[in-house]
Amino acid sequence: MARILFTTMPFAGHLRPGLPIVRELVAAGHEVVWYSGAKYRHQVERAGARAYPMSAGLDIDDAELEGNGTGSLRGLRQSILDVFIHPIPAWVQEIDAVLDDFAPDVVVAEQGFMAGPLAGRRRGIPAVVFSVSPLGLTSADAPPFGTGLLPGPRWRDRTLNWAMRNVVFAAPQRAAEQVLARLGLPPIDAYFMDWGAAIADRYLVPSVPEFEYPRRDLPATVEFVGPFLPAGIDEFTPPPWWDDVLTAHAGGRPVVLVTQGTLATDPANLVLPAVAGLAGTGPLVIATTVGHDPDVLLPPALRPADVRLTPYVPFDRILPMTDVYVTNGGYGGLQQALAAGVPVVVAGTTEDKAEVSARVTWSGAGLALGTDTPTPDQVADAVATVLTRPDHRARARELQAAYARYRGERRAAEAVLEVAASRNPVG
């Protein structure tokens, strides 16, 4: 039996992708503990892991992150420093106590939480890192992560990557290097955003190569494993209108799913414009209102007859009956949609969403609107285009076939165990 420590940022989009991996490991009889935000304790324990909550002073709330740093480059730099780099020594100190108590064979982390692998590195414990966004490792074959640019000439992308490390994010780079020195660790000769691949024995990408820019210089530790699909993780009681979805799907009426994910949840950005634009155009529209009461957001008396609002719906239940997925660009949801062969309309430019939009455009699996706040007409026109033109659906189904060749969380769990075994080889 392996002993495995998971460590993640205390944000839903960083923690939830790890849940299916933990379920696989626990089902196979391995012991898993998880260091992250206290508010996710129930989800961690439902997956079968034992929770080690962050102390209150280090448990950053999702609301603190929403919109933080998105208004300017200076704000973004400060957000990276305050949220992801400066707390690392304090996190490591708490993780040290977990290491003393639990003595794991391997540390698993998502790409944004380097405290876990760094704490393990100080004790010779191997690490596995998984990404929660499009592959952002520096490459001569790809533009810098965060620009939302499509690949261009290698000279251009090499120049932009140099400028990103040495000019644009020079301050976070220096701060990250100072953290290493403070922890008594040797320097890492890499851009701080590449540290996951530099530190980890295995760097797992929950996607497929067909959705990523081709790179001739990927580190040998990088492995595409396919999406982590959280089927059955969440409790779900079908709402009264669920039969409407079944009837629409069975009868060939298009079903459009609209969601803004779990962080940028202001319904005025996407949900309400989508509802206004799609109402009366033919499809049945299912829109999630995470963090908002549907009856307050749009009272039933004012709600169009072809719109259903819900605080939440499990994607493994709705996506097989969905014809177009309208999203603000959350990476996990988009991976699930493509794995189900559903073409997408993306409206999002903050966090990693510009990169998601760029890959949707590059792959041909849908349309990117290039704005966080599309108009009703923009959403309606994009959905109509995706519904009437066969190329986006055909490309989404090609990607579905590619995703089907990968085993996602099962392969990820195997990789974690392989790295754990490398520390304690049999014989």
Instruction: Say yes or no to pLDDT of 129 above 50.
Output: yes
Residue 234 lies in a domain: no
DSSP 424: S
Contacts of residue 362, defined as CB under 8 A and 6 or more positions apart, other chains included, come to 150, 151, 213
Checking if the pLDDT of 208 tops 80, the result is yes
> Would the pLDDT of 245 be above 80?
yes
Same structural domain, 53 and 196: yes
Q: Is the pLDDT of residue 264 over 60?
A: yes
In this structure, the answer to whether residues 291 and 222 fall within a common structural domain is no
Residue 255 domain-assigned (yes or no): yes
Contacts with 63 (C-beta within 8 Å, 6 or more apart), sequence order: none
Question: Is residue 237 in some structural domain?
Answer: no
> In which band, very low, low, confident or very high, does the pLDDT at 427 lie, cut at 50, 70 and 90?
very low
Encoded tokens for 186: 């040797």
DSSP string, 239-272: -TTHHHHHHHHHHT--EEEEE--SSS--TTTTHH
Structural domain contains residue 233? no
- CATH at residue 128: 3.40.50.2000
Overall residue count recorded for the chain in this entry: 427
Give residue-wise pLDDT tens across range 382-419. Answer: 999 999 999 999 999 999 999 999 999 999 999 999 99
Please tell me whether residues 209 and 100 are part of one structural domain. Answer: yes
H/E stretch holding 288 reads: strand 284-288
Alpha carbon 92 to chain centroid, angstroms: 23
- Give the pLDDT of residue 215: 95
Query: 282: left (phi > 0), else alpha (psi -120 to 50), else beta?
Result: left
Nearest to 134 by CA among 355, 346, 348: 355
Range name among 65-74, 84-93, 296-305 with the lowest pLDDT average = 65-74
Tell me whether residue 309 is in a domain. Answer: yes
Same domain, yes or no: 285 and 335: yes
Same domain, 364 and 380: yes
| Number of CB atoms found within 10 A of residue 166's CB | 11
Per residue in 321-365, pLDDT (tens digit) is 999 999 999 998 999 999 999 999 999 888 789 999 999 999 999
The answer to the question of residue 372 being in a domain is: yes
Both 181 and 45 in one domain: the answer is yes
Nearest to 227 by CA among 8, 355, 406, 416: 406
Amino acid of residue 33: V
The reported pLDDT for the residue numbered 425 is: 58
> What CA–CA distance (Å, rounded) separates 340 from 264?
24
First to last CA, the chain: 15
Q: Do 358 and 158 contact (CB within 8 A), yes or no?
A: no
Angle at 363 between CA 342 and CA 150, to 5 degrees: 140
State how beta strands 255-259 and 222-224 pair.
unpaired
Residues 73 and 153 occupy one common structural domain: yes
Q: Which residues contact 188 (CB under 8 A, 6 or more apart)?
A: 177, 180, 195, 198, 199
Task: Give the range of the structural domain holding residue 186, as residue numbers without chain letter.
Answer: 3-226+406-423
What is the per-residue pLDDT across 216-243, written as a single tens digit (0 to 9) for each?
999 999 999 999 987 655 667 899 999 9
What is the 8-class DSSP label of residue 168?
I
Per-residue burial over 262-275, b = 16 or more CB atoms within 10 Å of its CB, e = otherwise: bbbbbbebbbbbbb
Report how far Cα 94 is from the mean position of its chain's Cα atoms. Answer: 25
330 within domain boundaries: yes
pTM here is 0.91
| Same domain, residue pair 34 and 158 | yes
Number of domains in the chain: 2
Asked whether residue 194 falls in the same domain as residue 258, the answer is: no
Same domain, 335 and 197: no
Q: What is the mean pLDDT of residues 305-327?
A: 94
For 308, the 3-state DSSP assignment is: strand
Q: Does the pLDDT at position 41 exceed 90?
A: yes
Q: What is the rounded distance in angstroms from the CA atom of residue 305 to the CA atom of residue 250? A: 19
Q: Give the range among 40-54, 260-274, 302-316 with minimum mean pLDDT.
A: 260-274
Residue 271, phi then psi, degrees to nearest 5: -60, -55
Q: Which residue has the tokens 């004790």?
A: 123
What is the mean pLDDT of the segment spanning 358-377?
96
Residues of the chain above pLDDT 90, percent: 84
Q: Does the pLDDT of residue 249 top 50, yes or no?
A: yes
At 189, the pLDDT band (50, 70, 90 cuts) reads very high
CA dist., res. 57 & res. 52, Å (int): 14
Going by pLDDT thresholds of 50, 70 and 90, the confidence category of residue 60 is confident
pLDDT at 69 over 50: no
d(CA 329, CA 157) in angstroms, rounded, equals 24
Whether 156 and 253 share a structural domain: no
Tokens of 125: 């414990």
User: What is residue 61's predicted lDDT score, i.e. its pLDDT?
Assistant: 73
**With the C-alpha atoms ordered 410, 112, 83, 76, is the resulting torsion angle positive or negative?**
negative
Asked if 40 and 67 touch (Cβ cutoff 8 Å), the reply is no
Cβ-based burial of 48 (10 A; exposed 0-12, middle 13-18, buried ≥19): middle
- Residue 68: its pLDDT value, please? 47
Tens of pLDDT, residues 80-109:
999 999 999 999 999 999 999 999 999 999
Of 38, 52, 32, the C-alpha closest to 412 is 32
Q: What are phi and psi of 141, to 5 degrees?
A: -100, 5
* 325 located within any domain: yes
The CA distances from residue 419 to 104, 411, 424, in Å, are 12, 12, 9
- Residue 204, pLDDT > 90, answer yes
Residue 228 DSSP code? -
| 212 & 269 share domain | no
Q: Say what the pLDDT of residue 63 is.
A: 57
Over residues 44-68, mean pLDDT: 81
Q: How far apart are CA 274 and CA 325, in angstroms?
A: 11
